[in-house]
Amino acid sequence: MPHTSVISDGHAFTESPRWHEGRLWFVDMNRGQVLAVEPGRKPEVVTDVPGRTGGIGWLPDGRLLVVQQEARTVLRLEPQGLVVHADLSAEVDSMLNDMWVDSTGRAWVGEMGFDPHDFLAQPEVIAALTAESVDGPLEVPSTSRIFAVEPDGSCHVAASDLVFTNGIVVDERRRRLVVAETFGARLTVFDIDENARLCGRREWPLGFAPDGIALAPEGEIWVADPMHLCARRVGDGGTETGRIKADQLCLACATGGAGSTTLYLCTAPTTDLKESLELNGARIDAVPI
Q: pLDDT tens across 196-247, in order?
A: 999 999 999 999 999 999 999 788 999 999 999 999 999 999 999 999 999 9
pLDDT tens-digit profile of 124-157?
A: 767 777 777 777 777 777 889 999 999 999 999 9
Task: Give the separation between CA 70 and CA 66, rounded to whole angstroms.
Answer: 12
Helices (H), ranges, the chain: 117-120, 123-130, 273-279
Predicted TM-score (pTM) of the model is 0.94
Cβ atoms of 18 and 26 closer than 8 Å: yes
Length of the chain: 289
- Please check the confidence at residue 9 and state whether its pLDDT lies above 70: yes
Domains of the chain: 5-288 (2.120.10.30)
Gap between the Cα atoms of 53 and 31, Å rounded: 8
41, HSE (Cβ side, Cα atoms, 13 Å): 10
Eight-state DSSP code of residue 220: -
The DSSP symbol for 131 reads: S
- 1 by Cβ neighbours in 10 Å (0-12 / 13-18 / 19+) ranks as exposed
